[in-house]
Amino acid sequence: MNSTQLKITLSYIGFIPFVFFGLMPWIYEKYDHIFLSLHIFYGSIVLSFLAGFFWNKDFDQEREIRNIFIGIAFSVLAILIAYVTYFNFLLAASIFSMIVFYLIYIFEKNTIFYEDQDEEFQELRKTLTLLVCISFLISSAYSINPYN
């Protein structure tokens, strides 16, 4: 298995909790608050992990410093999402998570790190960002569902 295949496999394994925590409130309504909270908390952990990628070495020191500050900003946003979740603003946290995941993808797409990756990995990042955003959209829909 080459490194690209390993990245793809591990990325899809990492996506499984998004699917699980996003769908479980619809199945087990009694524990909906727990599953929605876990969904958002897991997302904030993944956001912090993704933000760490911006700490890459760059040949341009000015761009490297900018990337570090942006990585820190995304990590702070991830902590803010967890904080909002802790105070039971689950709908706001789900929507905010969806926005931040998309923003981090847009920023990553414009970095040297992204350009150095092969097309298969770039397609993976695009697909997973879309799927994660959909999982948060499903969670948001559950939160505003008048029948729960």
In one letter, which amino acid is 148? N
Average pLDDT of the segment spanning 3-19: 90
Interhelix angle 32-51/61-86, nearest 10 degrees: 170
29-52: pLDDT as tens digits = 899 999 999 999 999 999 999 998
Biggest alpha carbon distance in the chain? 55
CB 41 within 8 A of CB 87: no
- Alpha carbon distance 29, 25 (integer Å): 5
Q: Which two tokens stand for residue 56?
A: 């890459």
Burial class (CB in 10 A: 0-12, 13-18, 19+), 3: exposed
Q: How far is CA 62 from CA 13, 58, 86, 116, in A?
A: 35, 9, 36, 19
Token pair of 141, please?
A: 């829909």
pLDDT of amino acid 116:
76
Residue with tokens 């979740």: 85
The rounded mean pLDDT for the chain is 89
Q: What is the pLDDT of residues 71-85, one digit of tens each?
A: 899 999 999 999 999
